Amino acid sequence: MPQVEVTIGGRSFDVACEAGEEDYLRGAAALLDAEAAQLSSQIGRMPEVKMLLMAGLMLGDKTAGLEERLRIAERRLVELAAMVEELENAPPRVVRETVEVRVEVPVEVPVEVPVETPAEGPPEGHVLLPEAHLVRLAELAADAETLADEVERG
């Protein structure tokens, strides 16, 4: 059986343990030593037995608190696992929603625009515009349609 030397509260102890548990023992001794150091800084020097008792009680208190938190976490885990199972086994929910959709289909309407001035000239009271002006007016009309659509959509 291996012997491990540990230091707790500035005092060395030889402790026997099972083979392979040496690192675990050193870790536990380090926790106890940290509690003993805290006690020494608060109270000062005290008999070895009292120091070990107090350090052990402090570790026991911390352990009891952690065990309670673990029990609460385990209960919550069981609750959450039950909720997950319930959701996985529940029939799928179908959500039906009516949505009004307005679709506008652009329609091209052919318009005949004379490019050249007819020999007889425009009818009385009418003026023929140059082609560049007609193109620009068509562009402005398209822009106006786009703005109207945006206003309707909000």
7's CB contacts (< 8 A; 6+ apart) are 13, 29, 33
- pTM here is 0.48
Look at the block and give the residue holding tokens 């052919």.
Answer: 110
Three-class SS state of 148: helix
pLDDT tens series, the chain, 154 aa: 889 999 988 889 999 999 999 999 999 999 999 988 888 888 888 888 888 888 899 999 999 999 999 999 999 999 999 999 998 898 887 777 777 777 777 777 676 655 555 566 666 666 667 778 778 888 888 888 888 888 888 7
Contact 6, 26 (CB under 8 A): yes
